[in-house]
């Protein structure tokens, strides 16, 4: 029979290993992508009834590793369609970041505990649709120092 303390130590080791694996930093933007030319300015649309997109973290001026949290705000009784989310780095050519962060996307938003990007200003466009087909679009600027 295995002593109880050995079982507890083994369980604690597994939990710590799982936390370390999930806490790895995801490279959101590579240095090569950051060096691409800026995309031409995009036109913006008027007021929409589509879902809202709001950057929660990081605040401007964060270092190379940061938590990235973006909230989706449905309108009325609609629900967010997580499969519709697109995250695009606005460079020329555009860089689709969606696959990189797919596991962090939910109906509530995007929640990356640790992401990284090279120093600089990084414009990112987030598109999301609700279950009524209405689209919300926001351009966020990550400033990494």
Mean per-residue pLDDT, 104-108: 97
Q: pTM for this one?
A: 0.79
pLDDT in the model for residue 49: 83
Contact by Cβ (8 Å): 122, 140: no
Torsion on CA atoms 102, 128, 68, 43, rounded to nearest 10: 120
For 25-144, give the CATH class: mainly beta
- Reported as a pLDDT band with limits 50, 70 and 90, residue 84 is very high
Mean per-residue pLDDT, 6-16: 45
Mean per-residue pLDDT, 49-71: 86
Residue extents of the structural domains in the chain:
25-144
Dihedral pair phi/psi, residue 34, rounded to 5°: -65, -30
pLDDT in the model for residue 42: 72
- Reported as a pLDDT band with limits 50, 70 and 90, residue 3 is low
pLDDT in the model for residue 63: 75
Mean per-residue pLDDT, 14-25: 52
- Reported as a pLDDT band with limits 50, 70 and 90, residue 15 is very low
């Amino acid at each position: 029979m295995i002593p109880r303390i050995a079982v507890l130590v083994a369980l604690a080791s597994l939990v710590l290993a799982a936390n370390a694996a999930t806490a790895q930093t995801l490279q959101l933007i590579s240095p090569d992508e950051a060096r691409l030319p800026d995309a031409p300015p995009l036109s913006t649309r008027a007021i929409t009834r589509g879902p809202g997109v709001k950057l929660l973290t990081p605040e401007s001026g964060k270092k190379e590793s940061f938590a990235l949290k973006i909230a989706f705000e449905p309108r009325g009784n609609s629900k967010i369609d997580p499969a519709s989310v697109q995250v695009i780095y606005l460079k020329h050519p555009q860089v689709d970041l969606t696959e990189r962060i797919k596991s962090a996307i939910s109906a509530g938003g995007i929640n990356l505990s640790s992401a990284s990007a090279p120093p600089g200003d990084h414009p990112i466009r987030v598109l999301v649709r609700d279950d009524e087909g209405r689209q919300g679009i926001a351009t966020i600027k990550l400033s990494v120092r």
